[in-house]
Amino acid sequence: MARLTMGIIMNGVTGRMGTNQHLARSIMAIREQGGVPLGDGDAIWPEPILVGRSADKLAALAGRFGLARWSTDLEACLADPAPQIYFDAQVTSARAEPVRRAIQARKHIYAEKPLADDLDTSLELAGLAAEAGLKNGVVQDKLFLPGLRKLKRLVDGGFFGRILSVRGEFGYWVFEGGWQPAQRPSWNYRKEDGGGIILDMFPHWRYVLDNLFGQVRRVVCLGVTHIPRRVDERNVQYAATAEDAAYAVFELDGGVVAHFNSSWCVRVYRDELLSIQVDGTEGSAVAGLWTCRAQHRAGTPRAVWDPDRPPAAAYREQWQDVPDNQPFDNAFKAQWELFLRHVAGGAPFPWSFLEGAKGVQLAEAAMRSWREGRWIDVSDLRL
């Protein structure tokens, strides 16, 4: 078996997401399994180079995983012809300029979402990468979650008939800090630092809706800052200038209506932190990150409104589990493997920079809707 070594400059992996999902559970997990198999006995062997601002953090992370290479000098890493890929998991506000430099250095690029703070920059990066002939991709991990893959199986199998509506509930209570430490970094709640739940979550909702149910055509949205003051990592109180909740309705191709509530100010009373219910003429399903339950029209109970006595039916018990039918790998790792195969000359990778730009487009349209108090059309994007 031949080993195809593929060097990857990994910028921003000292953060929680970069360390856990991209380094530990994706790249290191791929190495532990012997690489990404190519189907002919050969395998891609990812060789990460950790990049960031803190030498101490990088050295500790490299030591933890037994990696030889780390650097605080991104320019030197980009000038090295050995690594073929640049990966960026920094905060959104810091992403665009390193991606431009990686394009100039002729590296293939894989990036966390959102690709940039605004649509114009996102389209610029997509155009530059396309003109340079570089392979590019944006993380769209929720498409690879077990619950949503089961949901897509139902869609592809025609289970729903004509899909009528999609209802998403996402979020949890993020502590304000002080009396209990917040579970998310303070920059998430400062607009000037790129924070806000709309830019964070609406790119996710865009690719979920587009890939499972139909292209988003317009949106109406209300954003809210429910908690106006929070306490940061230094135990200093600060003003929360970014929205911590958003309530949106999307109209999709075919007249499908999708309604998503996204909030860091909600206490969870559902099976998982994300719940998506799909209702169609032939059946309905509810999917989370891991599970999916369905109810066909033939098994739908006759519900009758009666406020004078408790319900006779245990409604949740009348839904059936959608079986796994296959093993499910870590969602981030699954997409990494597809991108590495793509760089090696394999199948096309559909989640390009342009797809990432669509997510930023929806976030901008939602924020404009909030400002102007009206529906905003979402047009097709082309380079």
Residues 209 and 267 both lie in one domain: yes
Residue 383 counted as domain residue: no
Residues 49 and 151 both lie in one domain: no
Share of the chain above pLDDT 70, in %: 99
Whether the predicted pLDDT of 381 surpasses 90: no
Residues 268 and 208 both lie in one domain: yes
Residues 73 and 198 both lie in one domain: no
Average pLDDT over residues 174-197: 94
CA angle 328, 275, 216 (to 5 degrees): 95
The model's pLDDT over 40-65, given as tens digits with 9 standing for 90+, comes to: 889 999 999 999 999 999 999 999 99
pLDDT of residue 215: 96
Q: Residue 277: what are its φ and ψ, rounded to 5°?
A: -105, 135
pLDDT of residue 314: 86
Residues 197 and 321 both lie in one domain: yes
What total of structural domains would you count in the chain? 2
Residues 102 and 177 both lie in one domain: no
pLDDT of residue 329: 95
Beta strands in 133-186 (DSSP E): 136-138, 163-171
Residue 382 counted as domain residue: no
Residues 157 and 294 both lie in one domain: yes
Residue 123 counted as domain residue: yes
Residue 126's domain spans which residues?
3-141+331-352
Whether the predicted pLDDT of 227 surpasses 80: yes
From residue 216, alpha-carbon distances to 255, 261, 316 in Å are 10, 16, 30
**Sequence-ordered alpha helix ranges (H) in 115-196:** 119-131, 146-156
Residue 122 counted as domain residue: yes
Residues 23 and 104 both lie in one domain: yes
pLDDT level of residue 37 (50, 70, 90 thresholds): very high
pLDDT level of residue 313 (50, 70, 90 thresholds): confident
The model's pLDDT over 233-265, given as tens digits with 9 standing for 90+, comes to: 999 999 999 999 999 999 999 999 999 999 999
Whether the predicted pLDDT of 312 surpasses 90: no
For 343, half-sphere exposure in the C-beta direction (CA atoms, 13 angstrom radius) is 28
Residue 83 counted as domain residue: yes
The CATH number given to whatever domain includes residue 234 is: 3.30.360.10
Specify the higher pLDDT residue, 313 or 232: 232
Residues 170 and 254 both lie in one domain: yes
The CATH number given to whatever domain includes residue 9 is: 3.40.50.720
Average pLDDT over residues 95-120: 97
Residues 56 and 106 both lie in one domain: yes
Residues 6+ positions from 223 with CB-CB distance below 8 Å? 196, 197, 198, 243, 245, 246, 366, 367, 370
pLDDT of residue 345: 92
